[in-house]
Amino acid sequence: MYTEKDLTIRPATEEDLYALWTLTYKEEAPEWKQWDAPYYEHKTLTFEEYLKEKNKRVEQDDFWLIEVEGKIIGSVSYYWEHKPSLWLEMGIGIYDSGYWSGGYGTRALRLWIDHLFNTLPLVRVGFTTWSGNHRMMKVGEKLGMTLEAKLRKCRYYNGKYYDSIRMGLLREEWEV
């Protein structure tokens, strides 16, 4: 668990699952999905369906919750792009729109990067987003990340093409 003032990132527990399901899979078209890869289909799940995959969320190293003053607002995660070379990609979702544009994502991702560099033998961390998600690109800039790749017009959403954006940060850049 990592804490900065009123914000905490921590592993999920079984007691968190209903709140997390409500934020992520209860609604057919949640507002957060407009920013988090909206070109991929989002499907609702019943709570019972959601619980079938609880082992992917509860007490996992690669999926933690973001809380503000004890309220779950989102999650941070990572996956291995290529584990033999320790190429890790991370992600963040702030599901509660009341916490958008308030610096919570930047603070949570800063704590997550600290955690990843403190617990894994990584040389680099990074994320992929799309050019329609200006807030995520801004978070990367605030954290000192470098634009490493821009795949032009490869994401199609609402009748318009967007770029895929890859940002990264090296350990030596973080520890300065």
Residue 37 has pLDDT above 80, yes or no: no
Q: How far is CA 90 from CA 113, 127, 138, in A?
A: 9, 5, 16
DSSP-H helix ranges across the chain: 17-24, 47-51, 104-119, 134-142, 171-174
**Start-to-end CA span in the chain (Å):** 23
17-31, 77-91, 96-110: range with lowest mean pLDDT: 17-31
Helix (H) or strand (E) holding 120: none
Q: Phi and psi (nearest 5°) for 98?
A: -65, -15
**Predicted confidence band of residue 176 (pLDDT cuts 50, 70, 90):** low
DSSP states of 1-45: -EEETTEEEEEB-GGGHHHHHHHHTSSSS-GGGGTS-TTS-----
Contact assessment for residue 136 and residue 38, using Cβ atoms and an 8 Å cutoff? no
For the chain, the structural domain boundaries read 2-123
In this prediction, what percent of the chain has a pLDDT beyond 90? 84
At 26 the pLDDT is: 84
Instruction: With a cut of 90, say whether residue 141 has pLDDT above it.
Output: yes
pTM of the model: 0.91
Q: What is the band of 38 on the pLDDT scale with cuts at 50, 70, 90?
A: confident
Q: How confident is the model at residue 45 (pLDDT cuts 50, 70, 90)?
A: confident
Residue 36: per-residue pLDDT: 79
2-123 fold: Aminopeptidase (3.40.630)
Encode pLDDT of 48-78 as tens digits: 999 999 999 999 999 999 999 999 999 999 9
Average pLDDT over residues 102-131: 96
